Amino acid sequence: MLTFLMRRVAWSVVVLLFASLLTFFIGYKVPADPARMIAGPNATAETVRSISHQLGLDQPFYVQYGRFLGHAAQGDLGRSYKTEQQVLPTILQRFPYTLALALGGLAFEVLIGASVGLLAAGTKLRVVDGLASTFVLLTLAVPSFWLGIILLYVFGFKYPILPLGGAEAGPISLLLPALTLGLSGAGYYARMGRASLLEVMGEDYIRTARAKGVSPGRVMLKHAFKNALRPLITMTALDLGVLLGGALIIEQVFGWPGIGTLAWQAVQNIDLPMIMGTVLFSALCIVVANIIVDVVYSWVDPRITV
């Protein structure tokens, strides 16, 4: 296990380095001058050159990137060009909002999606399976921003029982964005849950249990459901890693002050330090989630070794 973790950590460092290099290179090649944006449209050329020199923007790419890596290794992701605030504290300030949205959305995804999928596979009623298939098609076909707008119109405008956006109203503000996020991904869990349970129901140990006279309900609850949930565990951990990096579209629709919104604002302002910070943070969440998936999956299924 220790050797596996060391290999994964080493590989994660490589992934983070590649993500940072690619993002930094794209930012470096963007045909815009951050120094000009900081100085303002009326600044003189001398002022722009002075700011560019102070920020090190007049140095070669490899020098700028090397300096960034050196500071990043010490936990310093620089200062925002737009707000002049430290990047890492700003990201950490937004992280609780993203964490709440990710956990809430994931809870809706799993509860709704897995329930629909397992119910469709576990029942012999064709109407139930048909309704489940319709649910999957609708949730996968409707874009998340359209779903968010519909829910906002119904529950925020037509029947104003929930806030229209933002986080000022407290925990109740989380309900609509989390539900939108959950419904957008529930179709994947429903499809995976249905396919997984149907596969498990054809296994030899299920037929053996039935041959021994075990009741259908006990076979389903004790043997089938438990094993059918294993692939969903992998999906859940990976989804959490991605969502912790910021659900950009959902955050924009609902004005949610998370990391996704922060990243989008950074892109609009060509704020390279903030872009680099949000990308690295998102990549870190994903690689950590992958490591957790492998460890948890090996614990859930002893047949798998790491």
Where along the chain do the CATH 1.10.3720.10 domains lie? 87-300
For residue range 88-109, list pLDDT tens digits in order: 999 999 999 998 999 999 999 8
Rounded mean pLDDT, 278-288? 87
Question: Is residue 26 predicted with pLDDT exceeding 60?
Answer: yes
For residue range 183-241, list pLDDT tens digits in order: 988 888 888 888 888 888 777 777 887 787 777 777 777 767 777 777 787 788 778 77
For residue range 45-92, list pLDDT tens digits in order: 888 888 888 888 888 888 989 998 898 888 888 888 888 899 999 999
Mean of all residue pLDDT scores within the chain: 84
Contact 276, 68 (CB under 8 A): yes
Query: Tell me, what's the pLDDT at 30?
Result: 78
For residue range 227-280, list pLDDT tens digits in order: 777 778 778 877 877 777 668 888 888 989 999 899 999 988 888 889 989 988
Query: Tell me, what's the pLDDT at 91?
Result: 93
Distance CA 100, CA 257 (A): 11
Query: Tell me, what's the pLDDT at 217?
Result: 73
The predicted model scores a pTM of 0.81
Distance CA 233, CA 230 (A): 5
Query: Tell me, what's the pLDDT at 1?
Result: 65
Query: Tell me, what's the pLDDT at 191?
Result: 86
Query: Tell me, what's the pLDDT at 306?
Result: 53
| C-alpha pair distances (Å), 78 with each of 83, 85, 87, 225, 269 | 12, 8, 6, 49, 16
Contact 262, 203 (CB under 8 A): no
Q: Which CATH class is domain 87-300?
A: mainly alpha
Please count the other Cβ atoms lying within 10 Å of the Cβ belonging to residue 80.
21
Query: Tell me, what's the pLDDT at 301?
Result: 59
Query: Tell me, what's the pLDDT at 274?
Result: 92
Query: Tell me, what's the pLDDT at 297?
Result: 66
Residue 52's identity, in one-letter code, is: S
Question: Is residue 20 predicted with pLDDT exceeding 80?
Answer: yes
Q: Which residue has the higher pLDDT, 131 or 306?
A: 131
